[in-house]
Amino acid sequence: MAKYRKKPVVIDAFKWTGDREQLEDPIWIVEAIANGTVTIRSDCSSDVKLVVKTLEGEMTANRGDYIIRGVKGEIYPCKADIFEQTYEAVGCENCKGKGRVWDCVGEYYYDCPYCSV
Ligand SMILES: [Zn+2]
Protein backbone atom coordinates (compact mmCIF):
# COMPACT_ATOMS: atom_id res chain seq x y z
CA MET A 1 0.00 0.00 0.00
CA ALA A 2 1.28 3.47 -0.88
CA LYS A 3 2.11 5.84 1.90
CA TYR A 4 1.02 9.45 2.00
CA ARG A 5 1.92 12.47 4.00
CA LYS A 6 0.10 15.77 4.34
CA LYS A 7 1.23 18.58 2.06
CA PRO A 8 2.43 21.57 4.03
CA VAL A 9 -0.23 24.23 4.12
CA VAL A 10 0.22 27.73 5.46
CA ILE A 11 -2.56 29.04 7.66
CA ASP A 12 -3.15 32.28 9.53
CA ALA A 13 -3.47 31.98 13.27
CA PHE A 14 -3.23 33.91 16.48
CA LYS A 15 -3.42 33.09 20.14
CA TRP A 16 -6.64 34.28 21.67
CA THR A 17 -6.21 35.52 25.22
CA GLY A 18 -9.65 37.06 25.54
CA ASP A 19 -8.43 39.98 27.60
CA ARG A 20 -6.52 43.24 27.40
CA GLU A 21 -3.31 41.31 26.81
CA GLN A 22 -4.55 40.41 23.35
CA LEU A 23 -1.67 41.35 21.08
CA GLU A 24 -3.09 40.49 17.72
CA ASP A 25 -6.49 41.26 16.31
CA PRO A 26 -6.31 40.29 12.67
CA ILE A 27 -8.78 41.92 10.32
CA TRP A 28 -10.34 38.53 9.48
CA ILE A 29 -11.40 37.93 13.06
CA VAL A 30 -12.78 41.47 13.31
CA GLU A 31 -14.80 40.80 10.14
CA ALA A 32 -15.94 37.39 11.39
CA ILE A 33 -17.21 38.99 14.60
CA ALA A 34 -18.94 41.72 12.59
CA ASN A 35 -20.72 39.22 10.34
CA GLY A 36 -21.68 36.87 13.16
CA THR A 37 -19.47 33.90 12.28
CA VAL A 38 -17.61 34.42 15.53
CA THR A 39 -19.29 35.48 18.75
CA ILE A 40 -17.73 36.46 22.03
CA ARG A 41 -19.80 34.88 24.76
CA SER A 42 -19.51 35.85 28.35
CA ASP A 43 -21.81 35.75 31.30
CA CYS A 44 -21.09 36.29 34.95
CA SER A 45 -20.96 32.58 35.78
CA SER A 46 -18.26 31.50 33.37
CA ASP A 47 -15.15 32.74 31.67
CA VAL A 48 -15.31 34.45 28.31
CA LYS A 49 -15.48 32.14 25.29
CA LEU A 50 -15.20 32.59 21.59
CA VAL A 51 -17.88 30.68 19.69
CA VAL A 52 -17.12 29.95 16.05
CA LYS A 53 -19.75 28.79 13.59
CA THR A 54 -18.21 26.15 11.34
CA LEU A 55 -19.59 23.73 8.77
CA GLU A 56 -19.47 21.05 11.47
CA GLY A 57 -21.37 23.19 13.94
CA GLU A 58 -20.38 25.54 16.71
CA MET A 59 -16.90 25.25 18.12
CA THR A 60 -15.93 26.95 21.34
CA ALA A 61 -12.54 28.46 22.05
CA ASN A 62 -11.31 29.07 25.56
CA ARG A 63 -8.73 31.65 26.53
CA GLY A 64 -5.29 30.61 25.37
CA ASP A 65 -6.54 28.63 22.38
CA TYR A 66 -5.35 29.49 18.91
CA ILE A 67 -7.78 30.73 16.30
CA ILE A 68 -6.94 29.50 12.83
CA ARG A 69 -8.01 30.72 9.42
CA GLY A 70 -7.55 27.91 6.95
CA VAL A 71 -6.81 27.95 3.25
CA LYS A 72 -10.46 28.37 2.31
CA GLY A 73 -11.02 31.15 4.82
CA GLU A 74 -12.66 28.83 7.32
CA ILE A 75 -12.13 29.80 10.95
CA TYR A 76 -11.77 27.29 13.75
CA PRO A 77 -10.18 27.10 17.18
CA CYS A 78 -7.37 24.79 18.23
CA LYS A 79 -6.02 23.92 21.67
CA ALA A 80 -2.64 25.53 22.27
CA ASP A 81 -0.77 22.26 22.93
CA ILE A 82 -2.10 20.64 19.76
CA PHE A 83 -1.44 23.79 17.77
CA GLU A 84 2.14 23.98 18.95
CA GLN A 85 2.72 20.31 18.08
CA THR A 86 1.18 20.70 14.65
CA TYR A 87 2.34 24.09 13.41
CA GLU A 88 5.52 26.11 13.30
CA ALA A 89 5.92 29.74 12.36
CA VAL A 90 6.95 30.54 8.81
CA GLY A 91 8.94 33.59 7.80
CA CYS A 92 7.05 36.65 6.72
CA GLU A 93 7.01 37.10 2.95
CA ASN A 94 6.90 40.87 3.16
CA CYS A 95 10.18 41.33 5.04
CA LYS A 96 11.64 37.83 4.54
CA GLY A 97 11.45 37.30 8.28
CA LYS A 98 13.71 40.27 9.15
CA GLY A 99 10.94 42.29 10.79
CA ARG A 100 12.07 45.41 8.94
CA VAL A 101 11.55 46.70 5.45
CA TRP A 102 14.15 48.99 3.88
CA ASP A 103 13.44 51.77 1.43
CA CYS A 104 14.70 51.42 -2.15
CA VAL A 105 18.14 52.91 -1.44
CA GLY A 106 18.57 51.06 1.85
CA GLU A 107 18.78 54.25 3.87
CA TYR A 108 15.67 54.03 5.98
CA TYR A 109 13.70 51.15 7.33
CA TYR A 110 10.36 50.74 8.99
CA ASP A 111 8.94 47.91 11.04
CA CYS A 112 7.19 45.32 8.95
CA PRO A 113 3.43 45.79 9.29
CA TYR A 114 2.79 42.06 8.76
CA CYS A 115 4.80 40.57 11.54
CA SER A 116 6.39 41.39 14.85
CA VAL A 117 9.83 39.77 14.76
ZN1 LIG B 1 7.34 40.83 8.07
49 CA distance to ligand 1 middle (Å) = 30
Express each pLDDT in 10-54 by its tens digit: 899 999 998 877 877 889 999 999 999 999 998 787 789 999 999
97 CA distance to ligand 1 middle (Å) = 5
Q: How deeply is 83 buried, as exposed, middle or buried, from its count of CB atoms within 10 A (0-12, 13-18, 19+)?
A: middle
What are the extents of the domains in the chain? 12-86, 91-117
Is the pTM higher than 0.75? The answer reads no
Task: Considering only residues 14 and 94, tell me which one the structure prediction assigns the higher pLDDT.
Answer: 14
d(C-alpha 2, C-alpha 9), whole Å? 21
41 CA distance to ligand 1 middle (Å) = 32
91 CA distance to ligand 1 middle (Å) = 7
Q: Which amino acid is at 83?
A: F
- Parallel, antiparallel, or unpaired: how do β-strands 100-102 and 46-54 relate? unpaired
7 CA distance to ligand 1 middle (Å) = 24
- For residue 72, which of 89, 55, 88, 57 has the smallest C-alpha distance? 55
d(C-alpha 100, C-alpha 110), whole Å? 6
